[in-house]
Every structure is written in C-alpha cells, then in structure tokens.
Structure 1
Amino acid sequence: MAGMAIGPIRRSFAPWNDPSAKAFIEFRNVTRSFGDFTAVDNLSLKIYEREFFALLGPSGCGKTTLMRMLAGFDAPTSGEVLLDGQNLAGIPPYKRPTNMMFQSYALFPHMTVWDNIAFGLKQDGMPKADIAKRVEEMLHLVKLETFAKRKPHQLSGGQRQRVALARSLAKKPKVLLLDEPLGALDKKLREETQFELIDLQQRLGMTFLIVTHDQEEAMTVADRIAVMNHGKIVQVATPAEIYEQPNSRYVADFIGEINVLEGRVSASPSGGARLECVAAGATVETRQQVDAKPGDQAWFAIRPEKVRISRDAPADPSVNAVPGEVWDIGYLGDVSIYHVRLASGATMKATITNTTRLVERPISWEDKVWMTWSVDGGIVLTK
C-alpha cells in the first residue's frame, strides 16, 4: 500500500501514558444484566482518540455487549457511556457518531457494491453529487473501483469484507466498531487484511474498536488490548506488555503458548524471587521483585521460545534447569515445538526456530534432554 510508513506514528503514540490526556471513549462503572446473568460487571475503561483498541476474550465474556452499548444497540443497566465528553444515554444508534461493521457483513444481496456503499448516505439525505463523490472515494480507499457494478454474490469473501468496510466508513464516523470483522476470511487473507486495517486506520486518523477472540489478530492490529473474562477487564496494556508481562495466570494462559510451573516462594540470594517447584523438579531463580513472602504459593510462567533444549546437562543444573524426555515434536515449518515429559509427568514446551533445512533432527523422540532458561526469561505470577 502506497504512502508514508506508519512506524514512527505508532512508535510514538501512547496517550494513555499522558496524565493530561482526555479519554475519547469512556465507560464509567458500566453494568449490563440480562435477568440473573451479568454480561458486563461494573466495568470502567478509557479509550483515546486515534487509538486502535481491541477487546479480547472468550465467547460470553461481555466484549460484544460492551461494543453494542457504545453503538446504541443496547443500554447499560447502570453506569455511563461517554463519547468525546458526551453522555450517550438516550441517543439512538443512527444519531451516534459511530458505525458498526458486523461479522456477517450484512450486505444487501440485491444491491450492487456501489449501492451498498451509498445506502447510508441516501438515508441521511446527502445530495446525489456528494454521494457519488463519497462512494468513489470509498471504492478507491478499499481498491474496489472495478467491482462497483457487481453484486455481493459475485465477490470473494475478502471483497465482501472490503465492501462492508467501505460502507461503514462512508458516513465518516468518529469511531468505527469492528465485531469479529475478519472471522470469515481464510488465514492468509486474514493476515493480509489485518495490516491493511492498520494502514487504513492511520491514514484516516480515526478511532477503531475491534472485538475479537483471536489473540493473534488483537496482538497484530491493536495499540492496546483489554483482556476480558466474565464481564470484567482483567488487564489493559499494549500487546508487548500483555505477552511479556501478564498480570495473572488467566492472561498468561489466554495469550499464546506458555509453560506454567507451580511453586513456593523461598529466599533468594540475588534479591529477586526464587521458586521451589517441587512437582516439576526445578528451582527457578529470577531477578523479579515479587509481592510475596517465603512459603507463599506462586507460579512461574515462561514462553516456549524462551526455553532452550539440549542433550547436555548445563554447568549448574540446580537452577533454571529441568531434565525430561522428548514426548512429541510438532513441525510447523518455521519452528518446531518440542513437548518434553518431566519426571513428575508434567509437560513443558520449547520452541526452536528452524534456521536450516530439517533433514535430520539433532533432537528426536524419546531423547533425554535438559530444558534451561535465563533468570529474566519468564515471570512470577501470584494470582
């Protein structure tokens, strides 16, 4: 896609770190109940202008309900939803400066691409000349100029997705709401479209809010992610912080592959945290300062790519090293994932990058191996 690289923009964009920055979208103590079921539970959240924000979580966690309340399709049982300082209570969806792109795309099958994009503009009574100009702008934006006269059934899934996106953007909303927008696309097209969405959002200077259960999608597109569970926000942070510094076992386990070793905190000569993981047969030493006292239960979480695997025992096998047997190997082309069975019966994973052609495995099934990691390779979690 032509234009200026967006790296410098995204790298310096962090209004959430500015105490004086004003939230563009704000949920204040919002609760939404359906009978005895609480979909959103006393939730507060701030989203900033021009931010690409992701709501991430499993089905039923409340993320879509939260988005629907912002769009006006649902109303809070209690609490307030504000947009650009205005309380949205009582304002119908068609009068809100938001537009929503649904997972199903909801295109009109009997209308052409051109008419689908123009539909909302006609409903608003925009002059014909202005409608034509805006539709042409949108077609150019999503690169569908040559498909204007086609109907939805004559398009591929990716093209229908672009039409839905163009229709959502045509009214120039202040906020674009994306509800699982790429779920119907195949993996390769979904990955390509994710980067197109990022570029589009930056060029338009708009605020995007995306709902997804796809962790990789959220990690790719978002400036920040809110991980949700049972109607509450568990953690809000940048993708890197969510991945490298999860605040709980739930977040650590929800985002990507991870090894979690249960242990007890013990005194550490380094001033960091030491965990005695008896079940795994490992003593874990970290530089991390932990709010726990000796004897407290804690968990050590480490990503598979941070674990080294070798047939040779380390020079000091007493710390951050555990022996095991290769139980299974998953070959994914760019990486291989080794599942190693420990003496306790637990399994740890190590991911090795395949930097050379895999003709003969240096480590294979049933090999006795050692798994090791550095003192800053993982994180100690106390909840």
Structure 2
Amino acid sequence: MSAIPQPRQRFEPWADPAAKPYIRIVNVTKSFGGFTAVDNISLDIYQKEFFALLGPSGCGKTTLLRMLAGFEIPTSGRIELDGVDMSTVPPYERPVNMMFQSYALFPHMTVEKNIAFGLHQDRVPKAEITRRVDEVLNLVQLTKFAKRKPHQLSGGQRQRVALARSLVKKPKMLLLDEPLGALDKKLREQTQFELMNIQEEVGITFVIVTHDQEEAMTVSSRIAVMDHGRIVQVATPSEIYEFPNSRYVSEFIGDVNMFEGRVIETTQTFTVIHSEEAGCEIYVDRGVSALKGAAAWVALRPEKFDVSLTPPPDQTRNCIAGKVWDIGYLGNLSVYHVRLPSGKKVTATQANRTRLKERPITWDDQVYLSWNPDSGVVLMA
C-alpha cells in the first residue's frame, strides 16, 4: 500500500517576529572604481527558504550572489551566515556551494566522479564518499547514468549532475546563478518543479539569481526585486504580482495595463481615480495616503478584465470601451488588444473555456472591459 502524501506545512518564518534570520545582509555596498554595483542593501533570508534575486541585467543581483559566495568582498557592510560574519571569509572556507549556469562539469570524468570530486579534495573517507554520491544520485534520479560522461547526457541531465555535485558536500546555503538558462522552455518548466521538490527534501537554503520572472515566481518562497543596485521590494510571489509597491515592479513582473489619473476621493477603505485616458472613474477598494488632486496610476493585470460585447449596467466606473485591433490565440487563452477613444492601447486576456470557433469577439468589434474594485492597485508618483 502506498503512503498517503502529507500536506505541506505553511512556511512563513519572515512573518514571525521571533524567527531569527539565517542569512543577514547588513548595509552592503560593492563598488568597482566609480561604479556602485550594489548600493547599501540590507536583507534577511531564513533557513530552508528558496529565495530569488530578480532583476534585469546590470541590476546588481549577480554581484550580490558573488559576495554571498565569497568571490567578491563588500566595499562596506557585512554578511552573516548562521550568526557568523562571512564578509572576509574566503570562498573555500565558507559552508556554501555555488551552481553556475555553465555547469562546469569535467568532460573526462564520469557522472559519479564529477559529483565526488569535491569530497576527494576534502579528503573524505572513501566509504563516506560512495554513500553520499549514491544518495545524491538517487535524489536527482541519475543512478543509472552514474558511469556516463557529460557529453552522453542531455542538457537537463547535466544540470542535475551539477546540482548533485553542489549538494553532495551538504552546504548550509546553495547559490544558483541562472541555473536553468541553458534549457529549452518545456524542460526548464519541468526542472523548476524538480528543483523545488529537491530543495524541500534536503532542507538547504537556496538563493537563486534569475532575470526570468516566471522562474522566480514558480520556485521561490520570496523574491527580492532589484533595480540599479538596490532592492525595491521583497515579498512572496503572490504579493509581488498582486500588490506591487511601485510602477517599476508592476511593469517588470508580468504584463500590466497602467492608467494615469488623479485622485478625486480617498478614505481608509477606498480610492477613486479619474483617468482621462481610460475615459472613466476607477474605483479601488483600498485607501492610499494622498491628497485630492494628486497624480496617480492604477495598475490592472490583463486577466482581471471581463471582456464583453454588451455593456455592463454601470459604465461610469471600472468600465472602458474600445475597438479590438488585434487578437492573439495562445491555446489556453486569447489575448485582446483594444484601442480606447483616447488612443491608449489596452491588453486583456480571457481563458478559452469554449472552442475558438464559438467565440463571438473578433477584429474591429466594439467591446467593453470591466473589472472588480479589488482588481486594481493604486501607485503614486
């Protein structure tokens, strides 16, 4: 009889005031000559987290990862791991391993010898090496490939060898630098879930660097969004997506429609924005700290819209009308690009619950896009 799978436990140490951070980055700055790559960053990461550093190229995420690994020394500030200051500890003395995008496997060695290499360097007893290598081979499901060379493996298999080699030394923290970047889309999506399951099983703190928003949203417990050497928001994937704290975050994470306007009313429980480009008032069921008349933007995700050929009863609030000027069919959903009378172009998505031939909306149709009061996010200038 197979075992009954146990429900996953709620994991939110950052929400517990009594929880002690496992990794503490305190006022860390890294400069190269006159260029500041990391600018006075402070960040707490907790034990067993799968934490993502997300941002565009040049935002400082890889430099921060390299400082965690010990390949770069902070210009100022300190980095603590499990209560010990690691700021000046060399890489080979840190209980940390790093998995690179290139995998850096030895082509002349078999899978098992690649994995065992670091243990041999540390003079671990032979019996212990065999036991630990067998253990991680089983973990990454590569036992039957142990005698193969890297060139005899697929890209996904080589990625798992690199992961096994990083895990076999049982580090306190594993750093992953764009680890899935060399894989094709379908394999990358499959490997993301494998990576999550392995991290949960071994219980090691993972810190991943990626510019792929979907990857960060899938694998991580929390995300730090970075821009120009600074962290602009740290939150769970759902919080980052649903409640971005700035226009930068809302536009960087996923697709979004941004409506400019002015605050005409706000209380503790709601805000009303008048937007000329939307052609209506936008009602949001959350208050903001703003004066009447203040400039503001409302962020609306494409999937929040209800797309209809018939107008809703109230068109004065949370309803815009326009003409369909382009349609994208993606199988599971359709993407509608709608041009408003103001000239603004809006993107709306709808799940394809019926066959495409049964869908009534087509090019040049007049459509109405409406949304719920809890769908929008008000962002101040």
TM category, shorter: over 0.9
Counterpart of 2:161 in structure 1 is 163
* Mapped contact 1:268–1:285 kept (Cα < 8 A): no
Residue 8 of structure 1 pairs with residue 8 of structure 2:
yes
Counterpart of 1:60 in structure 2 is 58
* Mapped contact 2:267–2:287 kept (Cα < 8 A): no
Q: Give the counterpart of 1:223 among 218, 221, 224.
A: 221
Counterpart of 2:262 in structure 1 is 264
Residue 141 of structure 1 pairs with residue 139 of structure 2:
yes
Q: Which runs of 5 or more structure 2 residues have no equivalent in the other structure? A: none
**Distance apart, 1:317 and its partner CA:** 0.8
Counterpart of 1:89 in structure 2 is 87
Q: Give the counterpart of 1:300 among 298, 301, 310.
A: 298
- Secondary structure of the equivalent of 1:267? strand
Q: Give the counterpart of 2:204 among 188, 203, 206.
A: 206
Work out the CA distance in 2 between the residues paired with 1:101 and 1:164.
7
Work out the CA distance in 2 between the residues paired with 1:298 and 1:317.
21
Aligned-partner residue type, residue 37 of structure 1: F
Counterpart of 1:340 in structure 2 is 338
TM-score (norm 2): 0.97
Residue 152 of structure 1 pairs with residue 150 of structure 2:
yes
Residues 159-212 of structure 1, C-alpha deviations (whole Å, 9 max, x = no match): 000000000001000101111111111111111111111111111111110111
* Mapped contact 1:270–1:287 kept (Cα < 8 A): no
Distance 1:182 1:226, change over 3 A: same
* Mapped contact 2:51–2:222 kept (Cα < 8 A): yes
Counterpart of 1:35 in structure 2 is 33
- Secondary structure of the equivalent of 1:22? coil
- Secondary structure of the equivalent of 1:352? strand
Counterpart of 2:49 in structure 1 is 51
* Mapped contact 2:266–2:290 kept (Cα < 8 A): no
Aligned length: 380
Aligned-partner residue type, residue 311 of structure 2: A
Counterpart of 1:276 in structure 2 is 274
Say what the alpha-carbon RMSD is for the aligned residues: 1.5
TM-score (norm 1): 0.97
* Mapped contact 1:6–1:202 kept (Cα < 8 A): no
* Mapped contact 2:38–2:230 kept (Cα < 8 A): yes
Aligned-partner residue type, residue 251 of structure 1: V
Aligned-partner residue type, residue 178 of structure 1: L
Distance 1:297 1:92, change over 3 A: same
Q: Give the counterpart of 2:112 among 114, 118, 122.
A: 114
Work out the CA distance in 2 between the residues paired with 1:176 and 1:3.
30
Q: Which runs of 5 or more structure 1 residues have no equivalent in the other structure? A: none
Work out the CA distance in 1 between the residues paired with 2:204 and 2:198.
9
**Distance apart, 1:4 and its partner CA:** 7.1
* Mapped contact 2:268–2:287 kept (Cα < 8 A): no
- Secondary structure of the equivalent of 2:362? coil
Aligned-partner residue type, residue 370 of structure 1: Y
Work out the CA distance in 2 between the residues paired with 1:86 and 1:7.
34
**Distance apart, 1:90 and its partner CA:** 2.4
* Mapped contact 1:6–1:199 kept (Cα < 8 A): no
* Mapped contact 2:24–2:44 kept (Cα < 8 A): yes
**Distance apart, 1:5 and its partner CA:** 4.8
- Secondary structure of the equivalent of 2:8? helix
Aligned-partner residue type, residue 8 of structure 1: R
**Distance apart, 1:91 and its partner CA:** 1.2
Residues 126-149 of structure 1, C-alpha deviations (whole Å, 9 max, x = no match): 111111111111111111111111
**Distance apart, 1:46 and its partner CA:** 0.2
**Distance apart, 1:271 and its partner CA:** 5.5
Distance 1:55 1:307, change over 3 A: same
Counterpart of 1:366 in structure 2 is 364
Work out the CA distance in 1 between the residues paired with 2:269 and 2:166.
54
* Mapped contact 1:53–1:208 kept (Cα < 8 A): yes
**Distance apart, 1:325 and its partner CA:** 0.4
**Distance apart, 1:311 and its partner CA:** 1.3
Residues 268-277 or 28-37, more deviating: 268-277
Work out the CA distance in 2 between the residues paired with 1:271 and 1:320.
17
Aligned-partner residue type, residue 266 of structure 1: I
Work out the CA distance in 2 between the residues paired with 1:118 and 1:269.
62
Residues 335-372 of structure 1, C-alpha deviations (whole Å, 9 max, x = no match): 00101001111111111000112124310011011111
Residue 325 of structure 1 pairs with residue 334 of structure 2:
no
**Distance apart, 1:270 and its partner CA:** 9.8
**Distance apart, 1:280 and its partner CA:** 2.4
Distance 1:203 1:35, change over 3 A: same
* Mapped contact 2:305–2:371 kept (Cα < 8 A): yes
Work out the CA distance in 1 between the residues paired with 2:97 and 2:111.
18
Distance 1:269 1:316, change over 3 A: farther
Work out the CA distance in 2 between the residues paired with 1:283 and 1:7.
44
Distance 1:6 1:122, change over 3 A: farther
Counterpart of 2:351 in structure 1 is 353
Counterpart of 1:378 in structure 2 is 376
Aligned-partner residue type, residue 192 of structure 1: Q
